[in-house]
């Protein structure tokens, strides 16, 4: 698979002293394989949960707003409180241990959701799922950036996106297939003295593999951190306890980001606005197709999963070729290409709910997935290129927080628009149209505003030999 190199390929000295050798790429690709497994499980959980949306709504008697909360914000509230502190652990402790603990918690709590006796208990498990997954992104990106030379990172991040593609397709198809199986079971069954709905067995099944991924992380070799020569530590060794605790709040990273706000804030804004639509929509695909076009979960999974997978794979390939071409011409090629891609995504996101048939609607959704995956490796590489090395974990966490928080809020926003603005659950398509029509154009404007500042920042770092 052709994936774009970064424009004006940096020398190996751009992130470490010249005498510091790079780790074995063989060890790096093994670590990447483990990261892909963990990332797959993280997104597989979310995809399967989306397939259960209508069952959760019916079993617990929820409104669309309440369902939107379960599908989104419930999974990120804990992230708000623990995401940044956990990313600080990524910066100071061996990342493989932080990642191992993270994926173990994620799998265990997902399985416990299958035992929830009330909507409050289910929300409680989603809170801890968000906490368990909070370290996965910052830890994985930091680990890969110390394993691979800068020109390899777009390829590495593209391969990491394969986990998202596979999880989305497997969760959509597998969720529908598992629902068909659990529908053959009694509506309620007993387990450990508890009474659970038949669809809750699915959460138990998908949570357990996380323990295997946790063990795999323990076999990964921790690479040395590639800190520039003579770089002062962000927190002095003789700092007071209060100063050490302050480092866990993310304020140091925020100061670094704000110092280069012209480049960072438009990127953060673009990611936040796009996430409301791109991450909110998947949670409502099944209810939309069921209510608007009369499809059931098995039909949705069987039809949509292969189309989304093909579109996502095509997005990685075509996006790599496009970003490569832009990088050969521009210092800001990664972000310039992403701005073009955002423009195309906006068109199909608005078109999807307007389609007269379910097949055409899924086709438009597939195109949004294609363009979304086309720009993802370039965005991730861009942030790693400009993030300060000593705070890479926290800067990445803040960047991913925008994606996670606003993405999770997206499902709640759509549900609220459906209840409050539209007022008719059968017209869910109108809520999807309103959200796409408001937030995707804003995301596109923010991304275009980031192009020139990002190019200037790359030039500044190159002039400093970084």
What are the φ/ψ torsions at residue 190 (nearest 5 degrees)? -100, 140
* Kind and range of the H or E run holding 200: helix 200-207
Q: Does the pLDDT at position 454 exceed 60? A: yes
Q: Does the pLDDT at position 367 exceed 90? A: yes
Say which range, 100-104, 189-193, 368-372, has the weakest mean pLDDT.
Answer: 189-193
Q: What percent of the chain has pLDDT over 70?
A: 82
Q: Does the pLDDT at position 140 exceed 70? A: yes
Beta-carbon count within 10 A of 138 CB: 31
| Structure token digits, residue 366 | 């597939």
Residue-wise DSSP of 348-399: HHHHGGG-SSHHHHHHHHHHHHHHHHHHHHHHHHHHHHHS-GGGHHHHHHHH
Distance CA 395, CA 398 (A): 5
Q: Does the pLDDT at position 233 exceed 60? A: no
Compute the average pLDDT of residues 91-105: 85
pLDDT given for residue 13 in this prediction: 41
Distance CA 353, CA 347 (A): 12
Higher pLDDT, 194 or 176: 194
* Kind and range of the H or E run holding 403: helix 392-416
pLDDT given for residue 84 in this prediction: 66
List, for residues 170-179, the tens digit of each pLDDT value: 877 777 788 8
Q: Does the pLDDT at position 4 exceed 50? A: no
Q: Residue 209, SS3?
A: helix
Report residue 394's pLDDT band, with 50, 70 and 90 as the boundaries. Answer: low
Q: Does the pLDDT at position 137 exceed 70? A: yes
Hey, what domains does the chain have and what are their CATH numbers?
A: 23-219+245-463 (1.20.1250.20)
**Contact predicate 188/197, CB 8 Å:** yes
Say which range, 123-137, 144-158, 166-180, 264-278, has the weakest mean pLDDT.
Answer: 123-137
DSSP-assigned beta bridge partners for residue 188: 197
Beta-carbon count within 10 A of 97 CB: 15
Distance CA 92, CA 270 (A): 30
pLDDT given for residue 11 in this prediction: 39
pLDDT given for residue 352 in this prediction: 93
* Residue 8 Rama label (left phi>0; alpha psi -120 to 50; beta): left
Q: Which residues contact 398 (CB under 8 A, 6 or more apart)?
A: 84, 87, 250, 253, 254, 257, 268
pLDDT given for residue 443 in this prediction: 92
Distance CA 106, CA 397 (A): 17
Distance CA 328, CA 176 (A): 43
Q: Residue 196, SS3?
A: strand
**Contact predicate 394/84, CB 8 Å:** yes
Hey, which of 266-280, 343-357, 362-376 has the most confident mean pLDDT?
A: 343-357
Say which range, 23-27, 341-345, 416-420, 423-427, has the weakest mean pLDDT.
Answer: 23-27
pLDDT given for residue 459 in this prediction: 84
Mean pLDDT of the chain: 80
Hey, which of 237-251, 312-326, 419-433 has the most confident mean pLDDT?
A: 419-433
Q: Does the pLDDT at position 160 exceed 90? A: no
Distance CA 267, CA 264 (A): 5
Q: Does the pLDDT at position 111 exceed 70? A: yes
Closest CA to 411 of 300, 275, 309: 275
pTM: 0.62
**Contact predicate 187/196, CB 8 Å:** no
Say which range, 142-146, 165-169, 306-310, 389-393, has the weakest mean pLDDT.
Answer: 389-393
Distance CA 284, CA 302 (A): 17
């Amino acid at each position: 698979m052709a994936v774009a190199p970064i424009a004006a390929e940096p020398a190996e000295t751009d992130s470490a002293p010249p005498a510091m050798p790079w780790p074995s790429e063989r060890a790096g690709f093994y670590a990447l394989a483990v990261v892909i497994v963990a990332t797959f499980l993280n997104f597989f959980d979310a995809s399967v949960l989306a397939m259960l949306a209508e069952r959760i709504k019916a079993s617990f008697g929820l409104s669309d707003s309440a369902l939107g909360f379960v599908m989104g914000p419930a999974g990120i509230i804990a992230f708000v409180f623990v995401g940044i502190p956990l990313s600080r652990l990524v910066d100071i402790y061996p990342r493989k241990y932080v990642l191992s603990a993270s994926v173990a918690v994620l799998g265990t709590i997902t399985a416990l959701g299958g035992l929830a006796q009330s909507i409050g208990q289910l929300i409680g498990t989603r809170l801890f799922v968000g906490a368990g997954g909070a370290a996965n992104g910052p830890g994985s990106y930091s680990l890969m950036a110390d394993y691979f030379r800068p020109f390899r990172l777009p390829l590495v991040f593209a391969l990491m996106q394969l986990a998202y593609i596979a999880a989305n397709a497997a969760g959509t198809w597998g969720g529908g297939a598992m629902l068909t199986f659990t529908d053959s079971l009694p509506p309620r069954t007993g387990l450990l003295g508890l009474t659970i709905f038949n669809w809750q067995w699915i959460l138990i099944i998908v949570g357990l593999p996380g323990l295997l991924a946790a063990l795999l992380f323990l076999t990964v070799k921790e690479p040395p951190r590639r800190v520039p020569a003579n770089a002062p530590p962000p927190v002095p060794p003789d700092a007071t306890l209060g100063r050490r605790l302050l480092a866990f709040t993310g304020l140091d990273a925020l100061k670094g980001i704000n110092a280069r706000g012209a480049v960072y804030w438009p990127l953060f804004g673009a990611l936040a606005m796009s996430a409301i639509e791109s991450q909110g929509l998947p949670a409502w695909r099944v209810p939309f197709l069921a209510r608007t076009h009369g499809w059931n979960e098995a039909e949705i999974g069987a039809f949509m999963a292969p189309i989304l997978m093909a579109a996502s794979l095509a997005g990685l390939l075509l996006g790599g070729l496009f970003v490569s071409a832009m990088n050969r011409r521009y210092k800001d090629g990664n972000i310039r290409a992403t701005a073009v891609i955002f423009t195309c995504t906006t068109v199909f996101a608005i078109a999807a709910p307007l389609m007269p048939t379910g097949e055409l609607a899924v086709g438009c959704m597939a195109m949004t997935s294609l363009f979304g995956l086309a720009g993802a490796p370039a965005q991730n590489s861009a942030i790693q290129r400009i993030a300060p090395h000593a705070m890479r974990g926290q800067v990445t966490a803040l960047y991913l927080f925008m994606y996670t928080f606003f993405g999770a809020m997206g499902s709640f926003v759509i549900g609220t628009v459906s209840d409050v603005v539209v007022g008719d659950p059968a017209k869910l398509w109108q809520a999807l149209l309103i959200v796409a029509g408001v937030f995707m154009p804003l995301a596109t404007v923010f991304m275009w505003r980031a192009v020139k500042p990002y190019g200037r920042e790359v030039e500044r770092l190159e002039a400093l030999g970084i």
